Amino acid sequence: MERLAIGDFFDRVALGAGERDALVSPDQGVHWRYREVHARTRQLAKGLMGLGVDPGDHVAVFSTNRVEWVLLKLAVAKVGAVLVPVDPRADAAELAHVLADAQASTLFLADTADGLSLADVFYECDPDARQRPAGRFSSRRFPVLKRIAALGTEAPAGGVLPWADVVAAGAGITDHLLRRRQEAVAPTDLATVQYTAGTTGDAKGVKLTHQSVVANAAAVGDCMRLGRADRLCVPVSFARPYGSVVGILTPLGRGATVIVPSEHFDAGRTLAAIAAERATAVLAEPRMLVSMLRHPDVLRADVSSLRTGLVTGGACPVGLVPEAIARLHLPELSVGYGLAETTAIVTQTRPDDAIDLRATTAGRALLDVEVKIVDPTSGVEVATGAEGELCCRGPSVMCGYYERPEATAAVLGANGWLRTGDRAVMDRFGNCTLTGRVPR
């Protein structure tokens, strides 16, 4: 199991992979090599320090998929702050809940999402924010929030600090100061507070450590047999652990390439990016695979470079996996299952599993993860083949809900076993088939 902080996990590869492609975005016209991503991440980390972002501060990001999102994830980790992703589809009430509950000190927001101004969504939470000077934010509703900054190069709205000013704020921060800050970050430190509906209903912040995130990214990459020659197309949202952990850290931790096909999922753009960038792997949710398979461009797009992929995020319709394997040239496509409380993925099929197995199950436990099926009422493990609640424990399991000890105790036992709230059946080889939710 990897026992590294995120910054060290990335640096270990980036420093030896300087001229290989790291991050590609056709929409943004970006084609950065590892050397450039590493340098830009360091500049941004210094900028965060220059702005006064302290270790343990919570930094929220409210944005669609952009290359700056990737830089921010790495830079926040380097300075020992905690990333708080916000779904770009969130409305004002949802955004306000996350900012207040997570006690965010900094908010980065992109210009728009699906044509909607994300700054306007924030101004619904605090109408007076538009009139406040950029970089000097104060609010009665969000007393901890100190600064709002643009994520990207578009002209920011009123009261929002430009991206260039964030980077420039690090002018007085030396390499030595950044190195000392990064060296102080431990693998067991909190890296992310991920908001989710959770296993008991209301929106809660899932606490994930650097070790949890790195371990999960590495384990999924092992299952996908991802190597430095791979080019991973990532149409899934960075605001979810599937996108930010598997979509960013899994490839960047192996010297592979991250391809961001568009800011939000678009089947045509995804197919075009796969063809143009010669992607060898793709992440998807079932609905995304369906959209790609039903899109007219699937008949003319050259997807012959694809080898593998991972689909998760819900039950796959009957026949979807075999069709995707055949028509999208994905002979090693795997299927996974996970939730925010398990970082991203907890079970996954392997590339050499039979197609029937990959079409009907969510695979077996990842490396260093234990899975069992229990009676939802008694908590006693059931016999092989019997239905019950899927439970798991291991390095990728959350350390609890943020500021919610009672909610944590309801799903996470003192012995480390997490009750997922999902019903499943496990066969004698450990492969799990999801059957529904456990009534609460």
Tens digits of residue pLDDT in 280-332: 999 999 999 999 999 999 999 999 999 999 999 878 888 999 999 999 999 99
Residue 361 reports pLDDT greater than 50: yes
Q: What is the pLDDT of residue 128?
A: 78
CA-CA-CA-CA torsion sign (375, 380, 386, 392): positive
Q: What is the mean pLDDT of residues 122-149?
A: 85
Smallest Cα–Cα separation from 81: which of 6, 16, 14, 8?
6
- Of 58-62, 135-139, 310-314, 407-411, the least confident: 135-139
* pTM for the structure as a whole: 0.95
Radius of gyration of the chain (CA): 21
